[in-house]
Amino acid sequence: MARQSRNLQPGFSYHVTVRCNNREFNLARRECREVFLYAIKKALDKHGFKLYALCIMSNHVHYLIEPTQPEDLPKIMHFLNWYTAMCFNRMLNRTGHFWEQRYFCDGFPPTDKQRALNTLRYIHSNPKAAQMRQSLFYDFSNYGSYDGLTNDGLTQWHPAFLELGKTLDECARRYRGFCQRHKPSAKPASKSNWGSRLLAGHKVKKTKQKHSSPGQLTLWEQCQVFKRVFDIIALQVRGL
C-alpha cells in the first residue's frame, strides 16, 4: 500500500518527531547529541527553515519547524535522518535502519496561537515527563532560550511567544508560568506483551543517574568541539 501523502500548507508550523529504530537508546551518549546539533546547523544552512523548538531525548527527537516552502519539509527531514543515520551507525559501530519507520508530522496554521504554545510546552516538558529532569531546563532543549531570552545559535522564538506580552521580559515570564502550571503525564517505558508472564516479578535494579546542574547551555557552542570529528565521519560515509 502506498504511503498517504502529507497535507503540507504554506506558513504552517510542523511538530515533527523521529524515533530510534526498535526504540533503542542510541542517542543516550552525550557526544551523539552534540553531533546531532551540528547536523541541525548544517540542515539550517542548507534549507533555511525556522526552528522554533528542539528537544533531543535518548531515543527520539522533537522539532517545531516552519519550512520556507511546504515542499521543503520532506527535504529537511530526509537530509537530517539520512545524514545522522550514516554518522551514528559509524560512531556506534552498528548497521541497519537507525530511525524507526516514517517521521511523525503534525502541522497547524500561524493563526492558531494556542496550538503553538501547547506544542512548545509539550516539547519543552519532555525531559520532565520522562523523569530525566525535575525542572524544565535541559542541555539539549531550547527551553532556556525562551525562559532566559538567550540566543542559542540554532533556534528562534515562535511568533505566538512574542505575543504573550508587550516586552520580551513579560513574554518570558508568562511563558515560564504557562509551562510551570502544566503537569506533564509520566511516560513509563512500554511493556512488551510477549514473554511478559515469564518476566513477571523480575525486578530491575535502578541506578541513580548523575545529572548536570540545571541550566541552559548554548546549543551551538556545545557542538563546536565535535565539528572536526563529525566532518571526518561525514567524509568516510561519502567515501571521500
CATH number of the domain enclosing 56: 3.30.70.1290
pLDDT tens-place string over residues 41-59: 999 999 999 999 999 999 9
Write the DSSP string, 174-238: HHHHHHHT--PPP-PPPPPSTTTTTTTT--PPP-PPP-PPS----HHHHTGGGHHHHHHHHHHHH
- Does residue 174 carry a pLDDT above 60? yes
213 — alpha (psi -120 to 50), left (phi > 0) or beta? beta
- Does residue 218 carry a pLDDT above 70? no
Q: Give a yes or no: residue 125 inside a domain.
A: yes
Q: Is 20 helix (H, G, I), strand (E, B) or coil?
A: strand
Rg of the chain's alpha carbons, rounded to an integer? 19
Please name which of 136, 143, 104, 137 lies closest in space to residue 120, comparing C-alpha atoms: 143
Domain total in the chain:
1
At 220, the pLDDT band (50, 70, 90 cuts) reads low
Range of the domain at 225: 13-187+217-231
Q: Give a yes or no: residue 97 inside a domain.
A: yes
Residue 208: per-residue pLDDT: 54
Q: Give a yes or no: residue 202 inside a domain.
A: no
Mean pLDDT of the chain: 83
Task: Give me the amino acid identity at 85.
Answer: A
Q: Give a yes or no: residue 163 inside a domain.
A: yes
Q: Which residues contact 165 (CB under 8 A, 6 or more apart)?
A: 171, 173, 174
% the chain with pLDDT above 90: 56
User: What's the Cα-to-Cα distance from 154 to each of 37, 53, 150, 198, rounded to whole Å?
Assistant: 8, 10, 11, 47
State the residue for C-alpha cell 533503542: 24
Full-prediction pTM beyond 0.75? yes
- Give me the mean pLDDT over the 170-193 stretch: 77
User: What's the Cα-to-Cα distance from 174 to each of 36, 167, 171, rounded to whole Å?
Assistant: 30, 11, 5
pLDDT tens-place string over residues 70-117: 999 999 999 999 999 988 988 888 888 899 888 999 999 999 999 999
Q: Is 51 helix (H, G, I), strand (E, B) or coil?
A: strand
